[in-house]
Chain A
Amino acid sequence: MNDAIWLIIAFVLMLLAMGWFALSLKTHWKQVMSGKPASRLLRSLGWICVALSGLACLQADHASMAVLVWIMLSATAAFIVGQVLSYRPGLLKPLALFRA
């Protein structure tokens, strides 16, 4: 498969990961949904996506390069999720899957 497609997949996975990390926190969950989040479950989902995103990076590039892409993607995705929570928290609703 094309490298660019793997990089897009890696980016989307990282956005999902950061979205779930954010929703695992009570304050952010409340911006989207009532009740409390199933924090541990959401956080695990987040870590799985972080790992999968790393694998997607490895599909696109040599390991040394993939590490850099992976770390920079996490920074970018975390910033984007932070801004989404501030301006359009509703966008994260589809990720608010597991209530405690």
Chain B
Amino acid sequence: MQFNSTRQGMAWLHTWLGLILGFVLMVCFFFGALSVFDREIDRWAIPETRFDPQPMPSFDNLLMGVFERIEPDEAEYKRMMPEYHDASAGEMTPRLELPADEYWAYTTHRDPVLRMGAGFRVPFPANPEGHNHIHGNTTIDPRTGVSVPDHHLKIGSEWFYPLHYSLNLNWNRIGFFIVGIAGFFMLVALISGVWIHRKIFRELFTFRRHKSKQRSILDMHNMTGVVALPFHFFFAFTGLIIFVAFYYMPVTNTMLEPLHSAQQAIEAEEMGLPHERAGIPAPMASVDAMVAEAKRRWAARDMAGEVGFLQMHHVGDQNAYVSIYRAGSDRVALVGEGIHFNGVTGDVLREDPPHSLAESIGDFLAGLHLQHFEHWFLRWLYVIGGLLGCACIATGFMFFVEKRKQQHAKSGSQGSRIVDAFAVTTVTGMVIAAIAMLIANRIIPSATEGKGDIEKLVFWSVWALSFLHAIWRSAAVALAKTNPAWREQTVLIALLGVVAVIANWISTGDHLIKTIFTDPYWAVAGVDLSLLAGSLIALLAVKKMTATHETERKQETSQKKLATGEAAYE
């Protein structure tokens, strides 16, 4: 590649990086925007959990019994047990007889349900130094302690949310790496985009929708990109730093593993928190008393709050300790102000000291992305930011195609036709797949075995079908016209949005009049209203596309007439 100027080089970089990674980034932005309200989508999808958020219930009276009921996960046992266990040292312990080593419970100000989990010890471990835990999780109604059945997939927090950072491709964590690479190159795309744009301020408010299609698309691309530039930059950047140490450069688990383990042991010793079990059984003290003490200490520091995360280490051992963290709903930064108690005596072992400046910046950056705070207005602004990002990427695809399709039509190239079909799939197809999943969730009876798996299957199949449809209808692009799949899939979005709202009404009796006025429940009303808003926007887009289609057709006929006229004249 030879460029006459830096700007030309940047344009090349922006075009091709944007095209290839745009498909991934579209998923990150759209499902990221939905993740802002993941818990609310969970409520919509699991009507049994449509009640108000609850504080952490009593540990001694309620949680302890639930923890004792948790079983090690069968799949994880099968997968990890042979790796953790040293067969030469002794018999492999059956799954249900594994001893518990760790309990945790987690809730936020938006969660009616409580997530809990246990980590089970592996007797005769192959690597006694390692973290040899087989896990088991459950979600309960904190008012009664009854588990929410497993076949209920939390579509918001367990499907849309992980989709935006892992694409739900878990094989060798390939999805995490694809998203990481896309996130990194998004920063490059933003910088190169600013570089080639030049008239950042002068054209900030410019959307010439009456000019040519190519012009108006580029205007929209620039506007959505520039107005939300800080949002785009910070979300790509903070998304990267949240995962960088964990997945992308896990030196502490590879090259520096011995150093890392030694450091952990030293830290634990310095903190006075036992790193290992003593091997001496001991009864546990009242955790409720510890919670009361933690709350008292937070209040004394002028930051009264509720418990967000609670963890018991070395369960049933002399060295047991309990860590209690504050729910961070009143601040951006993600800090728990943890207080740690001796599990046997109930004495305070340690209070986490205030974070250093560098740590505080990290807390703030992670917190602004992960949004544990309670601020509904800012949440909606984040959704707008995410959707502006989607609009920016979508118009980027469209511009790529618009710019090339005439030329490709002349030269017989199929390039823009293929790109356009992929664009249809990632823009409208993705929305259809998401709504179809919600509809499936409301149609499949609650007691169905493997309900969540069927919903996932619906999601992927519908998405695949939208791709086939886009390819099937794509011939028009090779003739420099618009792929009718854009319009057809947008019509489908408009219909499905309404169908989803009706399906929710019929299957649960929760219609908008009830969820807004007579018995307000905003989590469900919000999802319903968003679906309807999506339908409305789709409808407006259809109207616009129909008008464009008409002009395109008129031009064509007049051209044909002209051609035949000329032929007759000759």
- A85 CB within 8 Å of chain B: yes
CA distance A47 to B328 in the complex (A): 33
Once the chains are docked, how many angstroms separate the CA of A83 from the CA of B207?
7
Contact residues in B for A81 (Cβ distance below 8 Å): 205
Closest Cβ–Cβ distance, residue B278 to chain A (whole Å): 42
Contacts of B230 in A (CB 8 A): 71, 75
Size class of B's contact patch?
Answer: 20 to 34
Are A72 and B231 CB-contacts (below 8 A) given A22-B205, A61-B375, A86-B209?
yes
A73 adjacent to B331 (CB under 8 Å): no
Query: Who on chain A is nearest to B224 by CB?
Result: A79
Most chain B CB within a 10 A radius of its CB, from A72, A73, A81: A72
Partner of A72, one of B204, B332, B378: B378
Q: Which of A25, A64, A85 contacts B202 (CB 8 A)?
A: A25
* Residue count of chain A within 8 Å CB distance of chain B: 27
> What is the minimal beta-carbon distance from A81 to any residue of chain B, in angstroms?
6
B231 touches A71 (CB 8 A): yes
Do residues A76 and B384 form an inter-chain contact, with CB atoms below 8 A?
Answer: yes
In the complex the two chains form, what is the Cα distance from A15 to B532 in whole Å?
26
A21 to B200, CA, bound (A): 13
A78 to B224, CA, bound (A): 9
Asked if A64 meets B382 with Cβ closer than 8 Å, knowing A28-B205, A78-B205, A83-B207, the reply is no
- Complex: chain A residue closest to B382, CB-CB: A72
- Given the complex, which residues of B lie within 8 Å of A21, measured CB to CB? 204-205
B330 within 8 A of partner (CB): yes
Given contacts A65-B332, A65-B373, A75-B385, contact A86 B207 (CB under 8 A): yes
Contact of B227 among A64, A65, A82, A86 (CB under 8 A): A82
A79-B364 contact, Cβ under 8 Å, with A65-B331, A72-B384, A85-B205:
no
For residue B209, which residues in chain A have a CB less than 8 angstroms away from its CB? 86
Contact A72 B331 (CB under 8 A): no
User: Which A residues lie within 8 Å of B333 (CB)?
Assistant: 64
Residues in B neighbouring A73, C-beta threshold 8 A:
381
A70 vs B377: C-alpha distance when bound (angstroms): 11
B332 lies within 8 A of A64 (CB): yes
Q: Is B205 in contact with A75, judged by CB distance below 8 angstroms?
A: no
Q: Which residues in B have their C-beta under 8 angstroms from that of A85?
A: 205-207
Chain A residues numbered 28-74 whose CB sits less than 8 Å from any CB in chain B: 28, 61-62, 64-65, 68-69, 71-74
Instruction: Tell me which residues across on chain A come within 8 A of B231, comparing CB atoms.
Output: 71-72, 75
CB atoms of B223 and A79 under 8 A apart? yes
Q: Judge whether A78 and B381 touch: CB under 8 Å.
A: no
Tell whether, in the assembled complex, residue A78 and residue B227 are in contact, meaning their CB atoms are under 8 Å apart.
yes
Q: Are B385 and A68 in contact (CB under 8 A)?
A: no
* Set of chain A residues within 8 Å of B382, measured between Cβ atoms: 72
> Judging by beta carbons under 8 Å apart, are A69 and B381 in contact?
yes
A7 located at the interface, meaning its Cβ lies under 8 Å from any Cβ of chain B in the complex: yes
Q: Who on chain B is nearest to A77 by CB?
A: B227
Asked if B501 CB lies within 8 Å of chain A CBs, one says: no
Alpha-carbon distance between A21 and B223 when the two chains are bound, in angstroms: 15
| A7 partner residues in chain B, CB cutoff 8 A | 377
User: Which 7 residue pairs across A and B have the least CB separation, nearest first?
Assistant: A72-B381, A78-B227, A75-B228, A86-B207, A22-B205, A82-B205, A64-B332
